[in-house]
Chain A
Amino acid sequence: MGIREKLEELRDQGLADIQKTADLDSINKIRVRLLGKKGPITNVLRGMKDLSAEERPQVGKFANQIKQDLQAKLDEKKSQIEDDLLQAKLQSEKIDVTLPGTSVAQGQPHVIQQVIDQVVDIFTDMGYQVAVGDEVEEEEYNFEKLNLPKDHPARDMQDTFYVTPSILMRTQTSPMQARMLEKHDFSKGPLKMISPGKVYRRDTDDATHSHQFHQIEGMVVGKHITMADLKGTLELVAQKLFGDQLQVRLRPSYFPFTEPSVEADITCFNCMGKGCPICKGTGWIEVLGAGMTHPNVLKMSGVDPNVYGGFAFGLGPDRFAMLKYGVEDIRDFYLNDVRFLNQFDQKG
């Protein structure tokens, strides 16, 4: 057998061995056995010295070719085995993706806070400032300066927690009207403010009454502020809070610090005005009180009602949240059952 035949035999045998291999270890062993320095090919090539000068380069070239073929086959096989191993590993790593994810800790803003923030954002976007007042107020600011003198029947509508005859838990956020009117420098432009916060009434807590709740007061005072502006402003807020399709209607009402005074109803967002239990079949839901600032209020705060005028409104975030989310018991807002709090986790 010539060298060439021996080499061919080695190649065929090698390729067959590689083909049969199934693990990386064997592949490595075959590589060392066939292509190593002490391997059969090297051995065969040692016999080259007996060949003629013409044959030697040809056989050399042939031998290198065989080495390359075997190497290529080894590489191919190795990569195939590695691939198989990886596939098998991946198969074995399969998980049940329907198992629940690991719990993370995330708290939620209180639903009333969400309503307040939402309303505040609507107004700050329109250039309103936010004025936060004290919860313990002077009677003068809570009542007198809002055109509610002592013995005014409207005081009966608000049962008050007094601390002393002149100090009380504020019954409304309206004292901020007087305080801001006094503070504001009208030479620098109109006053546009919104004032959210807690208020207190001497009520027995039940599903619809709470001795503590929230209000958001709003006020715009400047030159040439009209009732149409009030209507437009309320419409905008109602639509941003409850939906574009909603309309606002005004009804006469009475607040000592506004004249004319109105209640604002919005189209029932539940039935879109068709009539349903939420709106008691009327198609409308009462959402806030408003009106044109009473001249006496301006006067008492040192603002000339002949030059300046404006509007004010007050809305109840508790009531908004009850309406918007179907909360039936106002006490739920202040008992802080985490199963309640965690329901309001929608963001944006």
Chain B
Amino acid sequence: MKVSYQWLNEYLPLAKNGIKPAALAEKLARTSVDINEVSSPKDGLKKVVVGLVKECVPHPNSDHLHVCQVQVSDDETVQIVCGAPNVAAGEKVIVALHGARIGNNVKIKRSKMRGEESNGMLCALQELGVSTSVTPKSDDEGIWILPDDAKVGEPVWPYVGMDDTIIDTDVTPNRGDMLSIYGNVNDLSAIYDLKKNFRQHALASEDGGPASDKVKISVADDKIAPVYKMRVIENVKVADSPLWLKVKLMNSGVRPINNVVDITNYILLKYGQPLHSFDYDKLPSHDINVRHAHEGEKLTTLDDEERVLKANDIVIAAGDTAVALAGTMGGKSTMVDNNTKTVALEAAIFDPVMVRKQARRLDLHSESSMRFERGINPETVETALNEAAYWLTQLANGTVDQGIVVGNQSDYPAKTIQMSTAKVNDTLGTDLSLADLLDIFRRLDFATEKIDDDQFKVVVPARRWDISIPADLNEEIARLYGYDKIPSTLPVMTRTLGGLTDRQRRLRASRHVLEGLGLDQAISYSLTTVAKAKQFMVEPQDVEPMVLSYPMSSDHVATRMNIVSGLLNDIAYNHARNVDNVALYEQGRVFIPAGGERPREEEHVAGAVTGSLYADNWHMKGDQIDFFQLKGIVEQYLKNFAVNGKVEFVADSSRPEMHPGRTANILLDNQQVGFIGEVHPQTAKEYKIPETYVFELNLEALLKADRRDKHYEAISKYPSITRDIALLVDSSVTNADVVNAINEKGGAFLTDVHLFDVYEGSHLPKGKKSLAYTLTYRDQNDTLKEETVNKAFAKVEAHLTDALGAEIR
């Protein structure tokens, strides 16, 4: 809310006590509500004074300009050329002198306009930087005319309220009471412990006939409008509001319209009580019904929009014709205009939720709806209605009909909360006495009653609907006592061990493994397209991903079932920016629908590498990533993960997004836990990425698997013996086939089988390849004898020939 410092001062001696706007704002932020901005309308402006137009003649060379002689001080009159149609001799006007700075940082300089010298500019408020959304309509039509008593030569600010300071507060949903001057005065009075002098204007006389003869009201449901009241004011003269009222509205960000509308807005700002004025004579019936809208019912609102209503909207109807959206916006057909004679003035409390839903659905957030949503002070509904009627008698010459027509009046009993001094201190960590606490509530104007040396009762006024339990009062105590005065301690309590769980520790450590191996950690979006969500699944299955009901963008509609696709998006982003070496991994959630209401969330890790892991160097060229480099990374990762079972890489050509000849499923004890390979060139094309290798592992499976123990095995004191073997085999025979065959007949002393060469090419028969291995034999407990090794090695050779048709070379 835009809170005027000058307005506050009418009810609270702030300036008198040396409390300046900036300090006030700071105090509010520390004690009450957040502050968006503190500013004065005159910030950045200078040399703008009151002038008197002494003479005004048409410009000789123009059909719309005037040449004016303007007195700008006791002894100085300057010539100013002005284009405003309403400029005339005898007027007091706003003069921006030579050297002045006006709105939008414009500097005014002496100049010649069509041959006539002009020593400044006569201004409208807009030209002083006042937003056109709040300037009165008259300001659009020419320069601003100052009151006759304005003193020539003085700065113009006080005459247009621009010397005020506006504190723009950001009110949290619980502090609806702070959406009024009344609420701000109450809170500031408590904060500074200042005596408040909030001036209310009671209605002096009701000179019309009985209002109940003019309108009948029925409220369909207590819930819609717990309070609904109306007054009727006759003989109203619609006109411009006086300057003081216009200024208050403008400084509060509300545009002055006419005296009737301005008075309702003034009351809204002053009390936080929205009012609505109907043109009584335009109401199609004088039976007012507050009810839910009929489904499909139409109403054209003040902003000229035809609204099609829904059954849970709430309306004010005259007879059965909707004439206003309750609490949100009035209807066009019954609005007050210059010819309005009789006003039906409504003051009500509407259901916050209904108003909120209606305003949201229609995107019609108004000053009124915002206040109804956050709660209205039931104590001032009638006060506000009466004061509005008072101002209509004062400013619009109205005659108030007798009595208030009450459509509904619910009870709002004051809440009494019992408090304990010890408990307050135990919660806040303070050492306050009962007297301290009672004093805080005295400042807040909450009645208290002492029960004993510890216990007391607090009566919470209805204006603070947000307070209902002791914890709420704790907050009042804490903020008024001052958060700064609360000491800083650490919880004293039973020692807790805390720390990461085994799972959390392993996940963290395994991330560091991949970083050590050259992969940057990425965090991509978990929400993606349906198509991408379904790709690259560790266990491909025909399942649809979970989708959002109302996504915000077509790129993020479904929860991912893989991480790889997100990494490919990242690679595409890098590639588009000419970054060609990209090595990423990501550890995070995938969401696999599993029949339940919520998907199963699995922790996965995935990697994607394109280009080279090492940047090209002056003396070493970075190798382009290939299957085996990435496989080495995955193998090391799995080794560090220390699962106890058997890990296998099994060729797979079934994944549509993967290269059919360069992809392997990763199996742990025959269970599929991941895959690795080259992205299918077609898929790569769709992602707009170059050749890329990827892997993804389901960490849930790895975390569940038995773990290899950390233990030390003595290094054998005895020497090992090695034998090399080169084989010529059919191309279809895999390394895994050979290694398995060797291990099968390796004997007790074979400790390692190491592949050191693979050759396929012109020196070999077609369809054949050569593989060469070093076999290492060792006895943990004795020196191996050559003949033992020879025997074992011969068995291997024979088996390779028999089982794989290998030719030993």
Contact = CB atoms under 8 A, between A and B. Distances in A.
Interface of A: 99-100, 102-110, 112-113, 117, 120, 123-124, 126-130, 132, 134-138, 151-154, 156-157, 161-164, 166-167, 169, 189-190, 192, 198, 200, 202-205, 211-212, 220, 222-229, 231-233, 235-236, 248-254, 259-263, 292, 294-295, 309, 333-339, 341-342
B784 interface: no
Given A157-B173, A226-B428, A228-B487, A334 B525 contact: yes
B469 to A, nearest CB: 6
Contacts of A212: 525-527
Contacts of B589: 135, 198
Contact of B29 (A120, A157, A251, A261): A251
Interface in B584-634: 584-585, 588-589, 591, 597-599, 601, 613-615, 617-620, 622
A124 B497 CA distance: 8
A105 B613 contact: yes
A339 to B, nearest CB: 6
Contacts of B522: 110, 336, 341
Contact of A211 (B33, B497, B527, B597): B527
Interface string B521-537: 11111110000000000
B583 interface: yes
B496 A102 contact: no
Contact of B429 (A109, A154, A228, A251): A228
Contact of B579 (A105, A261, A339): A339
A294 B516 CA distance: 45
A259 B479 CA distance: 12
A188 B371 CA distance: 47
Given A107-B585, A338-B582, 13 more contacts: A124-B499, A127-B495, A132-B504, A153-B373, A161-B552, A163-B549, A211-B527, A225-B491, A231-B487, A232-B488, A252-B478, A334-B523, A338-B574
B399 interface: no
Given A220-B491, A224-B426, A227-B428, A136 B599 contact: yes
B175 A254 contact: yes
B489 A136 contact: no
Contacts of B548: 161-163, 169
Nearest to B559: A136
A127 B517 CA distance: 32
Contacts of A100: 617-618
B498 A262 contact: no
B601 A252 contact: no
Contacts of B774: none
A220 B553 CA distance: 38
B577 A134 contact: no
A233 B492 CA distance: 11
A292 B523 CA distance: 32
B356 interface: yes
A233 B429 CA distance: 13
B759 interface: no
Given A154-B173, A156-B356, A336-B570, A225 B524 contact: no
A46 B546 CA distance: 109
A229 B523 CA distance: 34
B139 to A, nearest CB: 32
B430 A228 contact: yes
23 contacts: A106-B516, A107-B516, A107-B520, A110-B521, A127-B499, A134-B601, A136-B591, A137-B598, A153-B352, A153-B374, A161-B552, A162-B548, A162-B549, A198-B526, A211-B552, A223-B493, A225-B491, A229-B490, A232-B488, A251-B34, A251-B483, A335-B573, A338-B579
B573 A104 contact: no
Nearest to B555: A205
A136 B558 CA distance: 12
A250 B471 CA distance: 17
Interface in B486-514: 486-501, 504, 508, 511-512, 514
Given A124-B498, A252-B31, A105 B598 contact: no
Contacts of A222: 491, 493-494
B521 A337 contact: no
Nearest to B522: A336
Given A129-B498, A163-B546, A211-B527, A107 B356 contact: no
B515 interface: yes
Contact of A161 (B29, B33, B550): B550
B738 interface: no
Nearest to A227: B428
B515 A108 contact: yes
Nearest to B430: A228
Given A169-B548, A231-B486, A260 B491 contact: no
Contacts of B581: 338
Nearest to A121: B500
B427 interface: yes
A263 to B, nearest CB: 8
B360 to A, nearest CB: 7
Contact of B483 (A107, A156, A262): A262
Contacts of A338: 520, 574, 579, 581-584
Q: State the majority secondary structure of interface residues on A.
A: mixed
B519 interface: yes
A166 B597 contact: yes
A45 to B, nearest CB: 52
A176 B589 CA distance: 17
A217 B189 CA distance: 36
A253 to B, nearest CB: 6
B174 interface: yes
A111 to B, nearest CB: 9
B151 to A, nearest CB: 36
A189 B618 CA distance: 61
Interface residues of B, number: 101
A154 B356 CA distance: 11
B525 to A, nearest CB: 6
A260 B479 contact: yes
A99 B479 CA distance: 63
A99 B618 CA distance: 8
B58 interface: no
Contacts of B583: 105, 107, 338
Contacts of A251: 29-30, 34, 483
Contacts of A211: 525, 527, 552-553, 556
A341 B31 CA distance: 41
A223 B492 CA distance: 10
Given A161-B548, A163-B547, A249 B483 contact: yes
A139 to B, nearest CB: 11
A254 to B, nearest CB: 3
Contacts of B584: 107, 336, 338
B475 A103 contact: no
- What 10 A-B pairs have minimum CB-CB distances, sorted nearest first? A228-B429, A105-B518, A226-B429, A260-B475, A254-B172, A250-B483, A232-B488, A336-B570, A127-B498, A127-B496
Contacts of B498: 123-124, 126-130, 192
A164 B549 contact: yes
B31 to A, nearest CB: 7
A108 B475 contact: no
Contacts of A128: 496, 498
A285 to B, nearest CB: 14
B570 A104 contact: no
Contacts of A236: 490
B353 to A, nearest CB: 4
A123 to B, nearest CB: 7
B626 to A, nearest CB: 14
A226 B427 contact: yes
B553 A337 contact: no
A338 B574 CA distance: 7
B32 interface: yes
Contacts of B585: 107
A253 B34 contact: yes
A160 to B, nearest CB: 9
Given A190-B491, A337-B577, A226 B504 contact: no
